[in-house]
Amino acid sequence: MNTPLKTLATALAAALLAVGCSTSQPPEDAIRQALVERLPNLPKIDEVSKTPMEGLYEVRVNKSEIFYTDRAGNYLIQGELIDTKGRQNLTEARIEKLTAVAFDSLPLKDAFTIVRGNGERKMAIFEDPNCGFCKRFEKELDKLDNVTMHVFLFPILGPDSVTKSTHIWCAQDKGKTFVDWMVNSKLPAEASCDTAAVQRNVAFGQANRITGTPTTIFADGTRVAGAVPLERVEQGLNGKKTATP
């Protein structure tokens, strides 16, 4: 017959065993489980991984959206992780890696090319002709030298964007017509031709999560969204990463 003391000892042993089992669970699994249970509206978690910061874990959803959490998944942080010693934005670097597109995979036959100087540095840009940020960006890019720019027309802002893209793509000199419009506000002349290339650009962008314009892809596959300063473009063309001030 079990004595009360023996019964208590057995219960304590079972409790300790249970604690041991729970603590042996990898923190990545524990975090995933906690967040799924507590935040049912959170998108499906793609990956949970350690960060260089002790006790901080990265939670990745929707392929390239980044959150941070503690070891137990008690708190969820949305923001940027900065390496102050290395002066680097680790979140930005991580997203650039996740969203990189191999330059060799770009369907360059569906783009037109603008060459300045010796053209030795290469970049590709997805742009909507009605995008105000793209126009501002093009005025900055006009200052670049020794660059080959592959421009993908990416009309996502409405029917008139499709119309202007058609006129630009079907122009005899696509590059000049595009720059005349984007930089000098000279409307492209009406023209018609097979514009399947423009449709393929939109499909390619959707497949590769290009959701806004301008989006720039450098030769190393790094992707940068928005009308970034010319300094950032030069860094990308020269294969350099940006440091955090």
Side chain identity, residue 45 = I
Phi-psi region of 114 (alpha: psi -120 to 50; beta: other; left: phi over 0): beta
- Please, which residues bridge with residue 6 across strands? none
Radius of gyration of the chain (CA): 26
- Alpha-carbon distance of 211 to 154, in angstroms, equals 10
Q: What is the pLDDT along the chain (245 residues), one digit of tens a residue?
A: 455 545 544 544 454 444 444 457 899 999 999 999 999 999 999 999 999 999 999 999 998 899 999 999 999 999 999 999 999 999 988 988 888 889 999 999 999 999 999 999 999 999 999 999 999 999 999 999 999 999 999 999 999 999 999 999 999 999 999 999 999 999 999 999 999 999 999 999 999 989 899 999 999 998 999 999 999 999 999 986 544 44
Give the global pTM: 0.73
- Alpha-carbon distance of 198 to 204, in angstroms, equals 10
- Alpha-carbon distance of 65 to 45, in angstroms, equals 10
Query: What Å distances lie between residue 240 and 35, 108, 233, 235, CA to CA?
Result: 36, 24, 10, 5
CB atoms within 10 A of CB 48: 21
> Is 29 strand, coil or helix?
helix
Domains, the chain, in order of start with CATH, read 4-79 (3.10.450.70), 103-237 (3.40.30.10)
